[in-house]
Amino acid sequence: MTHPAELVGSWVHAHEEDHDGLQVYRPAGTPLPPSRGRSSFTLLADGGAALGSPGPDDRGATADGTWSLTGSVLAVRTPGVELDLDVVTTAPDRLDVRRSR
């Protein structure tokens, strides 16, 4: 079972590592190949969250919100976005998730 403390931090989508329907995230600062449009999220210990995505002009855009973990489902909420991810694997250097809707 995933403990919420394992998820706290900033995570960047390493889409080149996705496999078998899983999305792979790496901690922010992990060396990744150059790529346009990487999504990211930051999960704070107090339940705050920020979703990062490419903006309309390719500069990053961030939306603030909240997050919670129920069982293995990570729910991130920002205005206009409801992101539900099934947490499959957690490690200090990797987070594997599957979109649950």
> Domain containing 73 — which CATH number?
2.40.128
44, burial (CB in 10 Å: exposed 0-12, middle 13-18, buried 19+): middle
Is the distance from CB of 12 to CB of 26 less than 8 angstroms? yes
Predicted pLDDT of residue 37:
80
Per the structure, how many domains does the chain have? 1
Look up tokens 């706290």; give the residue.
8
Q: Could you read off the pLDDT of 17-67 as tens digits, one per residue?
A: 999 999 999 999 999 998 878 899 999 999 999 999 876 666 677 899 999
Containing structural domain, residue 87: 4-99
Backbone conformation region of residue 6, classed left if phi is above 0, alpha if psi is from -120 to 50, else beta: alpha
